[in-house]
């Protein structure tokens, strides 16, 4: 599978995750969100960027529970809860947001 972003064809796996992390650009998230009927807001970007920073530091996509706790610590309790995160990413903050961020599927997600 593949997606086309800004004229470039980027390889994705069978679940739609980028095969090469280095292919990522903001347009990837925009195109993937459009396919999911989602309009990306600053709040979405805050989480997407958070995930990319988490990956940069730890080399893993965090499990939802870990993401929730880490968001709460960094961005405040009103954002570090599943209600807030699921409202932003209805297909799951782990799976969907990681996909938009160009990360692999979170370790431990089935």
Partner 1 sequence: MSEEIKNFLYLNRRAPYGTIYAWESLEVVLIGAAFDQKVSLAFVDDGVFQIAKGQDTSGIGMKNFSPTYAALGDYDVHQLFVEKESLEERGLTVDDLMHLTWEDEDEDWAEKDSIQVVSRLELAEIIAAQDVVFSF
Interaction site with partner 1 (CB under 8 A): 57-60, 62-63, 65-66, 69-70, 73, 107-108
Closest approach of partner 1 to the CB of residue 25, in Å: 22
Which one is catalytic: 40, 66, 70, 109? 109
Nearest-angstrom CA–CA distance, 100 and 107: 16
Beta strands in 8-104 (DSSP E): 8-11
Nearest CA to 44 among 32, 56, 61, 62? Answer: 32
8 vs 65 by CB, closer to partner 1: 65
Nearest-angstrom CA–CA distance, 48 and 97: 6
Nearest-angstrom CA–CA distance, 98 and 55: 10
26 vs 104 by CB, closer to partner 1: 104
98 is catalytic: no
Closest approach of partner 1 to the CB of residue 59, in Å: 5
29 vs 67 by CB, closer to partner 1: 67
């Amino acid at each position: 599978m593949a997606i086309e972003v800004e004229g470039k064809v980027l390889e994705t796996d069978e679940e739609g995750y980028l095969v090469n992390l280095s292919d990522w650009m903001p347009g990837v998230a925009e195109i993937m969100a459009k396919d999911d009927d989602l309009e990306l807001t600053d709040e979405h970007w805050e989480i997407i960027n958070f995930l990319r920073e988490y990956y940069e530091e730890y080399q893993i996509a965090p499990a939802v529970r870990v993401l929730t706790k880490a968001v709460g610590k960094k961005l405040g309790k009103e954002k570090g809860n599943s209600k807030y995160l699921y409202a932003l990413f209805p297909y799951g903050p782990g799976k969907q947001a990681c996909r938009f961020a160009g990360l692999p599927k979170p370790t431990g997600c089935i």
